[in-house]
Structure 1
Amino acid sequence: MSEVQRAADVVPRTLHGQITWLFETIRPAVEGQRYCDTKPHTNKDLALHLGVSASYVSQLKKGTKPNPTKDVLEGIASFFEVPTAYFFSDAEAARVEAAIQYDVDLRRFKDGELKELPVNPSSPHWLVTGEMPDSSRPVCERLNWLFDHVHSVHEQRPYTEEEVADAIGEKPWRVRGLRSGEITDNDVSVPVLRNLAAFFGQRLSYLYADDQDVSGAKSEDEKLLELLRQAKSDERGLLGVALRTLEADPQNAGRNSGLSNEASARILAGLINSHLEMDNQVRLNSASGSGPDKADR
């Protein structure tokens, strides 16, 4: 079993480029303020920390002071809370930058700037080897496998349901329900499954298995499936009533079995889509006066 994290592309870096990247990417965390609204650190902020002039920091960023002392580099590293090795190893720099970018994207996701949870490139890692359950296994079994095998690299322990729920913006009881099987993948939206898989460094297809790869952009069928799930939850909507009637378990009258078969759901979605296209064509023909009713008059 390979590691979850992907090796970042190692490219040569310049010192002034690294310092500039830190300034542009790492912003102070201000309670109640979004990342995009937070002002970056200034040259003066770092200068006060190092005990040097702001113009010297400016020269470091421009590359006109290419050989700072080890003490200066250690001071920059401590200011931005990165390891000093960041400045001495391109491989370490790639790892650090990937981790920092993930933290930034996670902040932006929680702020509502990003719709999808970013895939963690470094925090989760395999602690136990073993064969991952395939798509034929229930979602609860596949999810529990991730909880059992993907642990926090910092805490050296499994993630809790509360930690996962907080990271993806969900309620702990829903994560708990998915693990127990009381809540199925048909009861949650595709974006939630995508974020849940991403937290553990996996693609959507691991939790949302189908006859095609759904980890990329949403297909028209997938969008229709999502509309079907939303319509089914509408207590008063006519389409929701029809769907629940079609999906009712004949042996348990009054109990809904849900969209238990993705293939059947796709067929139903296709029929609805065809009906909408035909209905739209009829309206267009009527508007242009070419409808069959006017031709027969």
Structure 2
Amino acid sequence: MAAEKNEPVLAERLDSLFRSSRPEGRPWTNDEVAARLKEANPKLRVSGAYLSALRNGKRERPSRELLMALAQFFGVQPAYFFDQGYADQALTQLALLDELHQAGVRSIALRAAGLPPESLNAVMSVLDEIRKLQGLPPVEE
């Protein structure tokens, strides 16, 4: 019984990674991930259909090698698939990264990189003024 209880957990956690890791603002497809995994390790036997079956719980018990490759691809530790506390923490971090990406924060940070402190202060002042005009609360550091 314990194995049956864990199998849907793997499907849910893998599906959560696919839904929360968003290149260019959209979720990965099964075929894209399978292709990237095979690029990284040509000996790895994986297809989009197999990943789909793992995500919906129709297939169970992927190889250790595939779990390691999936963990590395999505930037989590392999423990993500087995440890609820780690999985919750990883998904929270992925959601935050997605929010930052969606908000264009990365784009702003890239433009600000390398600017002298006085220029950064000017940029922050402009952003503070825009927040005020939009009715948003001031940022507390």
Matched residue count:
112
Which residue matches 1:172? 120
* C-alpha separation in 2, matches of 1:176 and 1:109: 16
Matched, 1:25 2:20: yes
Q: Deviations over 1:163-194 (max 9, x none)?
A: 7xxxxxxx7224777xxxxxxx99x726261x
Which structure: greater helix fraction?
A: 2
* CA positional deviation for 1:61: 0.8
* C-alpha separation in 1, matches of 2:75 and 2:55: 18
Which segments of 5 or more consecutive residues in structure 1 lack a partner in the other structure? 1-11, 30-34, 112-161, 164-170, 178-184, 201-297
Q: Deviations over 1:32-66 (max 9, x none)?
A: xxx2xx4x222112223143122211110111222
Distance 1:65 1:110, change over 3 A: same
CA contact 2:20–2:91 (8 Å) conserved in 1: no
* C-alpha separation in 1, matches of 2:137 and 2:121: 14
Query: TM-score, normalised to structure 2's length?
Result: 0.65
Which residue matches 1:47? 34
* C-alpha separation in 2, matches of 1:22 and 1:176: 34
State, as a whole percentage, how many aligned pairs show the same letter. Answer: 27
Counterpart selection for 1:86 from 54, 69, 80:
80
CA contact 2:22–2:28 (8 Å) conserved in 1: yes
Look at both structures and tell me which one has the larger radius of gyration over its CA atoms.
1
Counterpart code for 1:173: N
Query: TM-score, normalised to structure 1's length?
Result: 0.33
* C-alpha separation in 1, matches of 2:73 and 2:83: 19
Which residue matches 1:237? none
CA contact 2:14–2:81 (8 Å) conserved in 1: no
* C-alpha separation in 2, matches of 1:46 and 1:110: 24
- Off by >4 Å, runs of 4+ in structure 1: 174-177
More relative contact order in 1 or in 2 (CA 8 Å, sep 6+)? 2
Distance 1:176 1:76, change over 3 A: closer
Q: CA RMSD in A?
A: 3.0
Counterpart code for 1:79: F
Which segments of 5 or more consecutive residues in structure 2 lack a partner in the other structure? 1-5, 38-43, 106-111, 114-118
Matched, 1:191 2:139: no
2:31 partner SS = helix
